[in-house]
Structure 1
Amino acid sequence: MTEHHTAVVIGAGQAGLSMSWHLTQRGVDHVVLERDTVAHEWIDGRWDNFTLVTPNWQCVLPGYAYDGDDPDGFMTRDLVYDFVRRYADSFDAPVREHVAVDSLRQRLGGGYHLETSAGAMTADQVVVAVGGYHLPSIPRLAERISPEVAQIHSSEYRNGAALPDGSVLVVGTGQSGAQIAEDLHLEGRQVHLVAGSAPRVARFYRGRDCVAWLQDMGVYDVSIADHAGGLAKRESTNHYVTGRDGGRDIDLRAFALEGMRLYGRLTDVDATGILRIAPTLEQSLDAADAVADGIKNDIDAYIDAAGIDAPTEPRYTPVWRPDVEPTELNLAAAGITSVVWAVGFRRDYRWVKVGVFDGEGHPAHVRGVTGAEGLCFLGLPWQNTWGSGRFAAVARDAEYLAEHLASISSREPAGV
């Protein structure tokens, strides 16, 4: 007989476990399926010196919160991994590790059928909690780079010592790219960095972490329905900053003064392996600084309106500008022996055989609820608010879905 559960949660990261906690509290029969191990992405997909970029006090999961001695600090990779695993243990989450879901389909008459590596299973309700970052993205132009140059995705990077001797090219300045470039720079490697369009934010301003100011201002509570950016925010890039060594700004201009080579957007690799670069570096740096300055303006306005006594500090002044923007990069001539591609991920929901996706393959949902009754998503970037895809608000999103699923279960059958 096919195994059946009221609910199946797919994914045992912080999102799936948060969902499991709420289902457990409601006494809902459920199981959490994890293709690998609990919280494995925190170890398998992060570099050795990784830290959170949000303070530890923001790590609040349902029924569980950071209780260490450094609430204003930033947990390292290993500490985050331990935090999530201890959370699973705290309520004996019904996780089955090493069970991959190969396909998810609707059943005639209602509910869902799952084909898994451990056999078939059915459920009345399913919550897909596998996040929004699945397949490492590396552009096809990388295939024209000499095979003598090692190429890895940022999710594979661990430390500089694991790369061949020589200079390193990092492509992308989102959170991972900027922090990996810093990591290599601090290890003494010659870094060449292709800057993208990611914004930046100051770590501290007027006596506090900027995250603390933004939290008090309610920025993390603004729903995507009310946000001026609308649904496009779901595709936006997060600001680069770091929690390393207690937290600090990441200033690419300062890195340039210290010897890091910066470039504009990569546009092509020609037949001889020469990288073609668009002259967008200064524009990218100025745009990132403008975002950081705008956040400071918002904080200033909040402080003034609330009458808060906070120290003042001078505004950032650019410490470096490119004299000339390079339009090409010869990897061999520059001594570059490895490339780290930090250009993001692609979503992969091909195994979800239910018609709930938009034209680009993204789940079509409102706060995680899809048009297919009983099928929800959790842990997506900007699922409802800025904090949805991370620790800040996943608890709130999970509670909302638990209430929604409970409302479905409580309906009387048609005709009764």
Structure 2
Amino acid sequence: MNTNLLAVIVIGAGHAGLSASYFLKQHRIQHVVLERGLIGESWASQRWDSFRMNTANKLNTLPGWETDETEPDSFGTAQNLVASMKQYVQNYGLPVLTNTTVISLRKAPGSELFEIQTVQNGSTKTYSCWQVIVASGAQSQKQPARLAGKIDAKIKQLHSSEYRTAADLPAGGVLVVGSAQSGCQIAEDLILAGRIVYLSTSRVPRCPRYYRGKDIMDWLILTGFFNVRSEDIADSAQLHVRTPLLKGNDNGRKTLSLQSLARSGVILLGKLQDVVNDFAYFSEDAGAHVSFADEFSAQVKGFIDNFIAEKHLPAPTAEPDPDDEPDNSLNLSGHPGSIQFRKEGISTIIWATGFRPAMAYIQLPVFDETGNPVHQQGKSLVKGLYFLGLPWLRNRKSSLLLGIKEDAQFITGCINTLVQKQTMVGNQPD
């Protein structure tokens, strides 16, 4: 067995892992980045053909690598993002090992060193290191669909990460389960392709795409909305609110809302409760989901209006946005509480049930009773082990590519301080 000793090992070569690698190299700290697939694997393998980023290019940068100044406000594709990440690795000479799956992370017996066992192209290899950054993210594993096993085998089932285009699906209607980012955007893609689409909705906030002369993200950054720190949130439930609906299609000027989907022909249903034989049963809460999203959008706009007034900023009045305004004509009370797959001609179900972290390889006491990593600003319960790329890691923007850079700089700064101390007493290599 080949053992390699390093100062730091980074697990994951997405935005988080590459940002960490950049700063570690700036600190001249010996390290390697281990990636189970290819660089930017999740972006490359989990997005559909028409996908666009929901934040502008200027917000999707890596440290030391700014976007093309000619298109800072454009919304790129996943392929654009992956290409820039690969170029970034090449330009900065970052030590990334692809096709390297971590199968265990533990403490070496009787030692302060971490021991990481990997499989690289079919061969087992073990690394030892003083510190570890787990940057494999919160969306590395598909969230299983609870009712998938009750669906007739004749109906094609896909997770949202496996969907590419309507043309790949069998003829017939499509039921999309879940109305967060992926579910709503895929429902729109399908309806534009001429499919009959049913959308099982859930409680998801949303924002207008463009408001009072600016992209909504520009306003939220300007107001300091994303700078709210995790420890300043009194109600822990706020830490689990889903990301508000946004899309980058239509040049980043169109709002994504349940009412806009309904007007385009998508049939809105409540939350999927059960499947019995050929019938799917739904809660009668689609109207409540629409109202919740409308109320959230109104709160965000009010927050921005108050900021503009307090700062005496020159901002135009809001332009009419039918997709953002509550639609009083949208009557969901008569929508069915159940549908029969065969009768409605539904041939495909797309489970937009989201993702979860894949951290079963970590064999250390760093998780709570629900299996979530316990940390303080990314520092785990085990000295020398850090998390990066998780929502609310340090503040609200930690879930954005924009915020990952700052978190990576903070974590690597902590590591650099510890490395310097350990080097002075001769416990750690350069």
TM above 0.5: yes
Could you tell me whether the CA contact under 8 Å between 2:391 and 2:399 is conserved in 1? yes
- Pairing 1:302-341 to 2, within 5 Å after superposition: 302-313=307-318, 316-318=325-327, 319-341=329-351
Q: Which stretch has the larger CA shift, 328-337 or 306-315?
A: 306-315
Match of 2:131 among 121, 125, 136: 125
Could you tell me whether the CA contact under 8 Å between 1:2 and 1:121 is conserved in 2? yes
Could you tell me whether the CA contact under 8 Å between 1:43 and 1:81 is conserved in 2? yes
- The residue type paired with residue 288 of structure 1 is A
- The residue type paired with residue 274 of structure 1 is F
Q: Which stretch has the larger CA shift, 219-228 or 124-133?
A: 219-228
Give secondary structure in 2 for the equivalent of 1:125: strand
Per the normalisation by structure 1, the TM-score is: 0.96
Partner residue, 1:278: 283
CA distance in 2, matches of 1:387, 1:348: 22
CA distance in 1, matches of 2:92, 2:400: 21
Partner residue, 1:405: 415
- Residue 282 of structure 1: CA displacement? 0.5
CA distance in 1, matches of 2:426, 2:416: 20
Partner residue, 2:88: 87
Give secondary structure in 1 for the equivalent of 2:255: coil
Classify 1:49/1:100 alpha carbon distance in 2 versus 1 (closer, same or farther; 3 Å).
Answer: same
CA distance in 2, matches of 1:243, 1:222: 25
Q: Which stretch has the larger CA shift, 26-35 or 307-316?
A: 307-316
Classify 1:68/1:185 alpha carbon distance in 2 versus 1 (closer, same or farther; 3 Å).
Answer: farther
Classify 1:80/1:68 alpha carbon distance in 2 versus 1 (closer, same or farther; 3 Å).
Answer: farther
Q: Per-residue CA shift, 1:250-297, capped at 9, x if unaligned?
A: 132132233211101111111x23111110010010001100111000
Could you tell me whether the CA contact under 8 Å between 2:208 and 2:297 is conserved in 1? yes
Match of 1:215 among 221, 225, 228: 221
Q: Indicate whether 1:299 and 2:300 are aligned.
A: no
Give secondary structure in 2 for the equivalent of 1:121: strand
- Pairing 1:354-373 to 2, within 5 Å after superposition: 354-373=364-383
Q: Which stretch has the larger CA shift, 384-393 or 371-380?
A: 384-393
Give secondary structure in 2 for the equivalent of 1:60: coil
- The residue type paired with residue 380 of structure 2 is T
- The residue type paired with residue 412 of structure 2 is A
Partner residue, 2:189: 183
CA distance in 2, matches of 1:240, 1:369: 30
- Residue 88 of structure 1: CA displacement? 1.4
Match of 2:390 among 380, 384, 403: 380
Question: Number of matched residues?
Answer: 414
CA distance in 2, matches of 1:267, 1:283: 16
Give secondary structure in 2 for the equivalent of 1:287: helix
- Residue 218 of structure 1: CA displacement? 0.6
Could you tell me whether the CA contact under 8 Å between 2:61 and 2:401 is conserved in 1? yes
Give secondary structure in 2 for the equivalent of 1:243: coil
Partner residue, 1:54: 55
- Residue 162 of structure 1: CA displacement? 0.8
- The residue type paired with residue 95 of structure 1 is V
- The residue type paired with residue 278 of structure 1 is S
Give secondary structure in 1 for the equivalent of 2:17: helix
Could you tell me whether the CA contact under 8 Å between 2:140 and 2:355 is conserved in 1? yes
- The residue type paired with residue 202 of structure 2 is G
Could you tell me whether the CA contact under 8 Å between 1:111 and 1:374 is conserved in 2? no
Instruction: Give 5+ residue unaligned stretches, structure 2.
Output: none
Q: Per-residue CA shift, 1:93-125, capped at 9, x if unaligned?
A: 101111111100012220200111141110011
Partner residue, 2:173: 167
Percent of residue pairs identical: 35
Give secondary structure in 1 for the equivalent of 2:305: helix
- Residue 321 of structure 1: CA displacement? 2.5
Instruction: Give 5+ residue unaligned stretches, structure 1.
Output: none
- The residue type paired with residue 21 of structure 1 is Y
Partner residue, 2:117: 115
Q: Which stretch has the larger CA shift, 256-265 or 150-159?
A: 256-265
Q: Which stretch has the larger CA shift, 18-27 or 63-72?
A: 63-72
Partner residue, 2:209: 203
Could you tell me whether the CA contact under 8 Å between 1:201 and 1:239 is conserved in 2? yes
Give secondary structure in 2 for the equivalent of 1:170: strand
Q: Per-residue CA shift, 1:35-75, capped at 9, x if unaligned?
A: 11111221101001111111111123211121242211211
- The residue type paired with residue 91 of structure 1 is Y
Match of 1:390 among 397, 400, 411: 400
Partner residue, 1:246: 251
Could you tell me whether the CA contact under 8 Å between 1:131 and 1:389 is conserved in 2? no
- Residue 411 of structure 1: CA displacement? 2.7
Q: Per-residue CA shift, 1:177-231, capped at 9, x if unaligned?
A: 111111111111111101111111100011111110000001111111113444x
Could you tell me whether the CA contact under 8 Å between 1:240 and 1:250 is conserved in 2? yes
Match of 2:273 among 222, 245, 267: 267
CA distance in 2, matches of 1:195, 1:260: 11
- Residue 142 of structure 1: CA displacement? 1.8
Give secondary structure in 2 for the equivalent of 1:411: helix
CA distance in 2, matches of 1:273, 1:111: 55
- Residue 139 of structure 1: CA displacement? 2.5
Q: Which stretch has the larger CA shift, 57-66 or 94-103?
A: 57-66
CA distance in 1, matches of 2:41, 2:144: 22
Give secondary structure in 2 for the equivalent of 1:65: coil
CA distance in 2, matches of 1:121, 1:286: 52
CA distance in 2, matches of 1:307, 1:255: 36
Per the normalisation by structure 2, the TM-score is: 0.93
CA distance in 2, matches of 1:174, 1:140: 17
Could you tell me whether the CA contact under 8 Å between 1:136 and 1:346 is conserved in 2? yes
